[in-house]
Amino acid sequence: MVAPTRDSSLGPAERRRGGNPRAVASVVVGLAAVLVIPAALVLQYYSVTVTLIESLGSAGPALVFGLCALVLARRGREAYARTIGRSGGMTMARIGRALGVLGLCLGISTGLAVGFYGLLTLFARS
């Protein structure tokens, strides 16, 4: 017979530790990075006062959210390695990293599109 331990009275859900909140946060912030530009475009479509160029100012937040998602995913992977996998969250950290990279790519391409549009309108007036 096995001697009862201090934690044996707890159920499986109560025994589980906090997990890997940085990995989960990287997914949330990565989703924000990916969705901020389409949300701004939808706002422009349904709004009378917001123009397309004004809505593309969302490239900045997409870049910031993308970088934050990458940092959080890295910290989530470090927590996974530090706890030898007991904290879990490696898949969430990978998803957060992918979403962060996608958000960065969307932000960079949107910024380049707005920059080239600005150059074209500047030189078209001359």
Indicate whether 3 pLDDT > 80. no
Nearest to 22 by CA among 67, 66, 79, 60: 79
Q: SS in 3 state form for 74-92?
A: HHHHHHHHHCCCCCCCHHH
Dmax over Cα atoms in the chain, in whole Å?
A: 90
Question: Does some domain include residue 12?
Answer: no
Average pLDDT over residues 47-64: 89
Q: Helix-strand-coil percent breakdown of the chain, rounded to 5?
A: 75, 0, 25
Does residue 111 contact residue 66 with C-beta atoms inside 8 Å?
Answer: no
Question: Does some domain include residue 83?
Answer: yes
Question: Does some domain include residue 103?
Answer: yes
Instruction: Name, in order, each residue with C-beta under 8 angstroms of 122's C-beta and a sequence gap of 6 or more.
Output: none
Question: Does some domain include residue 93?
Answer: yes
Question: Does some domain include residue 11?
Answer: no
- What domain range is 103 assigned to? 20-120
Question: Does some domain include residue 9?
Answer: no
Q: For 5-41, what is each residue's pLDDT tens digit?
A: 655 555 555 455 568 899 999 999 999 999 999 999 9
Split into its structural domains, the chain has a count of 1
Average pLDDT over residues 92-108: 95
At 5 the three-state DSSP class reads coil
Question: Does some domain include residue 84?
Answer: yes
Indicate whether 121 pLDDT > 70. yes
Q: Which of the 8 DSSP states describes residue 57? A: G
Question: Does some domain include residue 13?
Answer: no
Q: What is the distance between the alpha carbons of residues 52 and 22, in angstroms, rounded to a whole number? A: 34
